Amino acid sequence: MLIDTTLREGAQLFGAYFNVETRKRIADGLIEMGVDEIEMGWVGQEGIHEFAGYLSRAANGTHLSVWSPCREKDILAAAELPVDRINIGVPVSDLHIEKRLDTDRQSMLRKLAAAIHTAREAGFKYISVGLEDISRADPDFSMSMALHAEVCGASRVRLSDSLGQLTPLAMAELVARFRSRIKIDIAVHCHDDFGMATANSVTALDSGADYADVSVMGIGERSGIAATEELVAHLSIRGGRDSYSTEVLKDVCLFVSSAARVPVSRTKAVVGTDIFACESGLHTHALSKLPELFEPYNPESVGTSRKVAVGGKSGRAAVRSALSECGVDSAGADIASLTEAVRQLSCRLSRPLTRSELIRLSSGEVLS
């Protein structure tokens, strides 16, 4: 299941500022998409009360959570929000415990117990504990923290690869180790510093994790985390999860792209404008026969469309097929000569040809 944290992790992206109205639009898209939980922000975030009120009315069954540091006053502040879950962050690596917090392991165990107690007393029925920087933590201590969280009444532990250090094989081992020892839910939070976030998240879910954190366009600190659109598409199309809606992915990504000022690469997985564009002779000819030969899924399933053009990489079959699509009868035409003209013009222009240019070339017009 997916925890979308665009409004918390994503909002921490350098230079990204989402006002309340922008957050509402993003949340509406996430709800329509069918994510299982929305981490709506952090305690003390500007406009959090107004936004939480709106989201609690719009949620339509989606779980709502808020992030809080491991401090009593923040947990109590979180309890004033209309959310049903709290995500408490606690570092488990000695580097953070000693150098950032200037404390020790035993103190962190006591602090965690106190935080969970406070959350329970404040009325939270579902308490998630994020074990931060777990990939650089001592394995025995991080397991002790997870077991301690379970005994104290936590509902979930979130294994946070805070600096994107893990590979899929290492992630599988990590999840399997925790799954064998704890009975509460397991989530993962995978950063993308080495481009592994989506792969690590998919692997974690396949290895026994119950939840994976995601963010639209993968935005977040540094290079971000696993991308919502990639996990939704994978789980829906490959995994058969019909609770997720893939048709809205592109619109949501385009809106977040504009709001965060992060351009969408034309080859971006799932939502790029050119992921179903083709001009290669072999591929275009095959697509005209059977799209499944070179398409992993139907373009319409992710809100986009196929784009086929002729150019410097096209062969005669592709040119003939393109003419047919343009309504031009190619019977008796010198396809070999026309194909050469197409290739030459495309190379001069450094791009595929438009429909108009192909039709004009086929009529014998000389284009420069």
Which amino acid is present at 284? T
- Predicted confidence pLDDT, tens digits, the chain (368 residues): 999 999 999 999 999 999 999 999 999 999 999 999 999 999 999 999 999 999 999 999 999 999 999 999 999 999 999 999 999 999 999 999 999 999 999 999 999 999 999 999 999 999 999 999 999 999 999 999 999 999 999 999 999 999 999 999 999 999 999 999 999 999 999 999 999 999 999 999 999 999 999 999 999 999 999 999 999 999 999 999 999 999 999 999 999 999 999 999 999 999 999 888 877 555 665 666 677 777 888 888 998 888 878 888 888 888 887 787 788 877 777 888 888 888 988 889 888 888 888 888 888 777 76
Question: Would you state the pLDDT for residue 2?
Answer: 98
Q: Please tell me the predicted confidence (pLDDT) of residue 303.
A: 86
Q: Quick one: DSSP state of residue 338? A: H
Burial of 123 from C-beta contacts in 10 A (0-12 / 13-18 / 19+): exposed
Helix (H/G/I), strand (E/B), else coil: 213 = strand
Tokens of 257: 């792209």
Residue type, 121: E
Contact 63, 89 (CB under 8 A): no
Domain boundaries along the sequence of the chain: 2-260, 277-362
What is the DSSP secondary-structure string of 221-288?
A: STT-B-BHHHHHHIIIIIT--TTS--TTHHHHHHHHHHHHT-PPPTT-TTT-TTTTEE--HHHHHHHH
Whether residue 355 contacts residue 342, with contact meaning beta carbons closer than 8 Å, is answered with no
Q: Between vectors from CA 101 to CA 99 and to CA 107, what angle results, nearest 5°?
A: 115
Collapsed DSSP state (helix, strand, coil) of residue 116: helix
Separation between Cα atoms, residue 89 and residue 75, nearest integer Å: 11
Q: Closest Cα partner for 239 from 297, 282, 183?
A: 297
Q: In the CATH scheme, what is the code of domain 2-260? A: 3.20.20.70
Backbone angles phi, psi at 80, to 5 degrees: -80, -10
Say whether 5 sits in a helix, a strand or coil.
coil
Residue burial 196-219, b: 16+ Cβ < 10 Å; e: rest:
bbbbbbbbbbebebbbbbbbbbbb
Rounded to two decimals, what is the model's pTM? 0.89
